[in-house]
Amino acid sequence: MKNILITGGSGLIGKVITSRLKDQGFKVAWLSRNPETKSEKSFNWDIKEQTIDQNALDWCDAIIHLAGAGVADKKWSQERKLEILNSRIMSTELLVNALGKMDKRPEAVIAASAIGYYGMETGNKLVAEGDPAGNDFLAEVVDKWEKTTGKFENLGIRTVRLRVGIVLSKDGGALPEMMKPPVAAPLGDGKQYMSWIHIQDLADIFIHALTNSGLNGVYNAVGPTPVSNAILTRRAAKFKGKPFVNIGVPGFALKLALGEMAEMVLGGNRVSNDKIHSSGFQYQFPELDQALKNIFKK
């Protein structure tokens, strides 16, 4: 296995996976609507038109599938909710249909999923891969997404779905947003669990799933030490060097600002990493302070 094709390669996670794959001697290419504008070797695809450059699939030995509209990028209008769902389903269907016409198919598809599968609020219960899907918007999206990626298995391709937690990075995602205000503060009561993972560990979990042929099915891609929103915010503020007040941003204010999307930040999940850890994965940043020290190092 040498040539790895990535969808969503220019996103926050995709760039780190790309860099780490290349460091390990893999060749990487992206799928893009505008391949000529990308810094990496890229092939054309168009999700809305359901077209793809067949050369991309002939070239690759495996696929890392990350494509999907950002869940937290815009308020959830009905139009935006449809975009969040369709970007995931249609991109997956495009790959499935194209691969179904091939005699020689990639060895593996490592597909992103999300801990939103369990629901936006699961309280103090430690949830694991065998637990049922939640019943809110995000859980419905992730459930449909995973069922669509199951079609790769029907083609005889080894398929791993990684339910990604809250990704900690200085370059995007939740952490810069949490540290934007002049004074850091919890969201709501701050008791909601945040199942976080350092972005480098997340990239390495994707590569671990890619290079270990014994891995199949669903794995939670989270760190071993979930913490409350208040603890994560306080510790991040310390390493960022900014003040913290333990007075939560009121839930009603978040709901006014964010609409339905507020449930995502006011809710939380305490997610088990036992399955991926038992597969032999070793974390670089298992503890929150280790992760934050690395992210905010001068």
> And the tokens for 176?
């810069």
Query: What does the DSSP assignment read for 181-240?
Result: SSSB--BTTS-SEE-EEEHHHHHHHHHHHHH-TT--EEEEE--S--EEHHHHHHHHHHHH
Residue 250 DSSP symbol: P
Mean pLDDT of 1-22: 97
Tens digit of each residue's pLDDT (9 = 90 or more) over 135-144: 999 999 999 9
Pick the CATH number of 3-295 from 3.40.47.40, 3.30.530.20, 3.40.50.11540, 3.40.50.720: 3.40.50.720
Contacts (Cβ under 8 Å, ≥6 apart) of 144: 85, 88, 89
Give CA separation, 166 vs 63, 115, 223, 263, in Å: 23, 9, 9, 15
Element of type H or E holding 108: strand 108-114
Tens digit of each residue's pLDDT (9 = 90 or more) over 142-190: 999 999 999 999 999 999 999 999 999 999 999 999 999 999 999 999 9
pTM: 0.96
